[in-house]
Amino acid sequence: MAYETLLVDVRPGGVGLITLNRPQALNALSAQLVRELGAALLALEADADVGAIVITGGTRVFAAGADIKDMEGKAYVDLFLADFPHVRGDVWTALDVVRKPVIAAVAGFALGGGCELAMACDFILAADTAKFGQPEIAIGTLPGAGGTQRLTRLVGKSKAMEMCLTGRTMDAREAERSGLVSRVVVPELLIEEAVSTATKIAALSRPVVWAVKEAVNVAYEGSLAEGRRFERRAFEATFALQDCVEGMQAFVDKRKPVFRHR
Ligand code: CO8
């Protein structure tokens, strides 16, 4: 499928690489981009050769938020009837159903909807140029795609409250210290590092990878008791997989495992 606002590439090793491509608007999330990103994610989810996905804006900017020029002039009733920003098949609904791990590779600004997009991915790798923020308050609104909820869970109430109330940005080092990003790398290595991390994941047993993603998301969204119960059942279930038998046998034999389901 041809996209106007994205570049999509399937890399050797089973990695789907999606690059947001509206440099003239700092990759602002226009309605078209949000729809195309949803379609691209679902296409990579359906591609049996792909085991993990990377979303990036390239080495200069991730995304400067929802496209303010798209939203300007819209009335409450327009947004309410459309259930904006959740439109069926768009990136927000796609990220809820994609079972393959999705890594955000962030350089430069990840603001507003851009920060929300990064946080909606499974984890964030950042270049040291990354700047995260929820500046919606400065234009008279608030985050609408999960920003107040995910940021609070990821960095705690105090930082989330300050960021959403003042619109201040957090640089890459503060984001790493606060648990918003998993690692910081130099900008030139960002995409390479994200693709190589995704390649490692894509080489593992797919059903086990999906179970891990599901279990961590239960921890993120639910109670500890519910999460521990879920994890125990998922752990037991892996013993029904040939990949689990192979993984343990390979350890005992002191060789690399050959996973069947990848
Ligand atoms: N929307 C539309 N266009 C944008 C946006 C944006 N969010 N951000 C930048 N642009 C455009 C600018 O208008 C400019 O275009 P032009 O050259 O035609 O004037 C071009 O990108 C370059 O931008 P600047 O000249 O402003 O570049 P600077 O380097 O001077 O500044 C900033 C960079 C600081 C990032 C600045 O552009 C800025 O403040 N942008 C807006 C950031 C913002 O407020 N983001 C939050 C938007 S609201 C939001 O995200 C709500 C989320 C709701 C749910 C998600 C739905 C998808």
91 shares its domain with 169: yes
Residue 261 lies in a domain: no
CA-nearest residue, atom 35 of ligand 1: 64
Identify the band that residue 226 occupies on the pLDDT scale cut at 50, 70 and 90: very high
pLDDT at 135 over 90: yes
Angle ∠(113,115,62) on CA atoms, nearest 5: 95
Ligand 1: atom nearest CA of 138 is 44
d(CA 51, CA 208): 12
pLDDT on residue 20: 98
Domains in the chain, number? 2
For residue 67 and ligand 1, the question of a CB distance below 6 A is answered with yes
CA-nearest residue, atom 27 of ligand 1: 26
109 shares its domain with 170: yes
167 shares its domain with 247: no
pLDDT on residue 87: 83
CATH number at residue 152: 3.90.226.10
For residue 109 and ligand 1, the question of a CB distance below 6 A is answered with yes
pLDDT at 96 over 90: yes
Residues with a catalytic annotation lie at 66, 113, 116, 136
For residue 144 and ligand 1, the question of a CB distance below 6 A is answered with yes
Residue 248 lies in a domain: yes
60 shares its domain with 39: yes
99 shares its domain with 215: no
233 shares its domain with 130: no
* Ligand 1 centroid to residue 97 C-alpha, Å: 29
Residue 190 lies in a domain: yes
| DSSP secondary structure code for residue 63 in this structure | B
Residue identified by tokens 């991390």 is 197
137 shares its domain with 190: yes
pLDDT at 86 over 90: no
* Ligand 1 centroid to residue 21 C-alpha, Å: 14
pLDDT on residue 89: 85
For residue 57 and ligand 1, the question of a CB distance below 6 A is answered with no
Percent residues over pLDDT 90 in the chain = 95
d(CA 83, CA 60): 32
Angle ∠(41,207,100) on CA atoms, nearest 5: 15
Residue 262 lies in a domain: no
41 shares its domain with 55: yes
pLDDT on residue 262: 86
Residue 235 lies in a domain: yes
Identify the band that residue 119 occupies on the pLDDT scale cut at 50, 70 and 90: very high
For residue 64 and ligand 1, the question of a CB distance below 6 A is answered with yes
CA-nearest residue, atom 30 of ligand 1: 26
Q: Which two tokens stand for residue 170?
A: 């957090």
CA-nearest residue, atom 21 of ligand 1: 25
pLDDT at 1 over 90: no
Residue identified by tokens 């606002």 is 5
* SS3 of residue 78 by DSSP: helix
42 shares its domain with 134: yes
* Ligand 1 centroid to residue 75 C-alpha, Å: 20
Q: What is the pLDDT of residues 166-221, one digit of tens each?
A: 999 999 999 999 999 999 999 999 999 999 999 999 999 999 999 999 999 999 99
pTM: 0.95
CA-nearest residue, atom 15 of ligand 1: 25
Residue 177 lies in a domain: yes
Q: What is the pLDDT of residues 20-60, one digit of tens each?
A: 999 999 999 999 999 999 999 999 999 999 999 999 999 99
Domain span at 190: 6-202
CATH number at residue 246: 1.10.12.10
| DSSP secondary structure code for residue 89 in this structure | T
Quick one: average pLDDT of 113-128?
98
Residue 24 lies in a domain: yes
Identify the band that residue 122 occupies on the pLDDT scale cut at 50, 70 and 90: very high
- State the chain's mean pLDDT as an integer: 96
d(CA 26, CA 64): 6
57 shares its domain with 108: yes
Residue 56 lies in a domain: yes
122 shares its domain with 247: no
Could you give the ipTM of this predicted complex? 0.98
155 shares its domain with 224: no
- The answer to whether 194 and 56 have CB atoms below 8 angstroms apart is yes
Identify the band that residue 88 occupies on the pLDDT scale cut at 50, 70 and 90: confident
